[in-house]
């Protein structure tokens, strides 16, 4: 979590349902709501960064001509399924 001496402040609007769920979760974890929000934001940011990086890597591989046709993928999948059917 962020060090309070270097922390910034944001304000958001959210539904009363989300606010209630946040309060309930924070209480059940014996943590302040701010801690739960910080943990949720950090998790979201890490996941989004991972996805963006994966997309960038995939686009780079396409630019290098590293791709398979739809037919090749279906054929490989059929082969894989046939080996595990029996």
Whether residue 3 is contained in a domain is answered as no
Q: Which residues contact 32 (CB under 8 A, 6 or more apart)?
A: 26
Whether residue 75 is contained in a domain is answered as yes
Q: Which domain does 36 fall in, by range? A: 9-84
**Cβ atoms 40, 46 nearer than 8 A:** no
Whether residue 1 is contained in a domain is answered as no
The predicted model scores a pTM of 0.68
Q: What is the 3-state secondary structure (H, E, C) of 53-83?
A: HHHHHHHHHHHCCCCCCHHHHHHHHHHHHHH
User: Is the pLDDT confidence value at 1 over 90?
Assistant: no
Whether residue 68 is contained in a domain is answered as yes
Whether residue 74 is contained in a domain is answered as yes
pLDDT tens, residue by residue, 33-76: 999 999 999 999 999 999 999 999 999 999 999 999 999 999 99
pLDDT band with cut points at 50, 70 and 90 for residue 6: confident
Question: How many domains is the chain built from?
Answer: 1
Whether residue 55 is contained in a domain is answered as yes
Whether residue 4 is contained in a domain is answered as no
pLDDT tens, residue by residue, 9-41: 999 999 999 999 999 999 999 999 999 999 999
The candidate with the shortest Cα–Cα distance to 9, out of 42, 46, 34, 40, is: 34
End-to-end CA distance of the chain: 51
Whether residue 69 is contained in a domain is answered as yes
């Amino acid at each position: 979590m962020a060090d309070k001496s270097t922390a910034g402040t944001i304000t958001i609007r959210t539904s009363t349902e989300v606010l209630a769920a946040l309060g309930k979760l924070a209480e059940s974890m014996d943590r302040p709501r701010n801690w739960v929000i910080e943990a949720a934001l950090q998790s979201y940011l890490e996941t989004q960064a991972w996805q963006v990086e994966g997309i960038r890597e995939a686009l780079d591989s396409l630019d290098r001509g590293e791709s398979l046709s739809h037919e090749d993928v279906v054929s490989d999948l059929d082969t894989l399924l046939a080996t595990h059917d029996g």
